[in-house]
Amino acid sequence: MNELRQLYQEVILDHNRNPRNFRELDCDCQQANGYNPLCGDQVTVYLKVKDGVIEDICFQGKGCAISVASASLMTEALKGQTLQSAQKLYHAFHQMMTEESSSQNLGKLAVLEGVKDYPARIKCATLAWHATDAAISQNQAEVTTE
Ligand code: ZN
């Protein structure tokens, strides 16, 4: 278990040092900001959605290692997904982070489950997901008004 913990920690540190998809998207895309006042984490998520599929997703921001690593892992997990499965993943991730035991199979995202032991940091891990959820809802609102 300790070895697994260590491995998980290494993945988090790696994603913090070299965040994936860390850039702005300068097209007409959805975007949303997230701010976690408890820790000072800031994140902006950019989504490019076409035909209900997330063609591109990236983020910018600054914050603690957990918030950056979580956003980085999230962009990797969501790129190429349909909005529907993205939202499923969001709920599954949220469940993993907030419920005592979860049977979710979240692949690489599972490295963040250890954050549960530090309740004050859970918001760091879920911040980018909340922002993405907001960006997706924005998109759906636009779709329904057309
Ligand atoms: Zn944080």
Residue by residue, what is the 3-state secondary structure of the chain? CHHHHHHHHHHHHHHHHCCCCECCCCCCCEEEEEEECCCCEEEEEEEEEECCEEEEEEEEEECCHHHHHHHHHHHHHHCCCEHHHHHHHHHHHHHHHHCCCCCCCCHHHHHHHHHHHCHHHHHHHHHHHHHHHHHHHHHHHHHHHC
Ligand 1 midpoint to CA 39 (Å)? 5
Ligand 1 midpoint to CA 25 (Å)? 24
Q: Which residues lie closer than 8 Å to 77 by C-beta, 6 or more apart?
A: 89, 106, 107, 108, 109
* Residue 145 counted as domain residue: no
Domain that holds residue 69: 2-138
* Residue 144 counted as domain residue: no
Question: Which amino acid, residue 53?
Answer: V
Q: Which pLDDT tens digit goes with each residue over 31-80?
A: 999 999 999 999 999 999 999 999 999 999 999 999 999 999 999 999 99
Ligand 1 midpoint to CA 135 (Å)? 21
Ligand 1 midpoint to CA 128 (Å)? 11
Strand bridging mode 41-50 / 53-62? antiparallel
Structural domain tally of the chain? 1
Contact 21, 79 (CB under 8 A): yes
* Residue 71 counted as domain residue: yes
* Residue 143 counted as domain residue: no
CA nearest neighbour of 83 among 52, 56, 57, 114: 52
* Residue 146 counted as domain residue: no
Ligand 1 midpoint to CA 64 (Å)? 4
CATH number for the domain including 106?
3.90.1010.10
* Residue 86 counted as domain residue: yes
Global pTM reads 0.90
* Residue 98 counted as domain residue: yes
Ligand 1 midpoint to CA 52 (Å)? 31
Q: Which pLDDT tens digit goes with each residue over 7-40?
A: 889 999 999 999 999 999 877 789 999 999 999 9
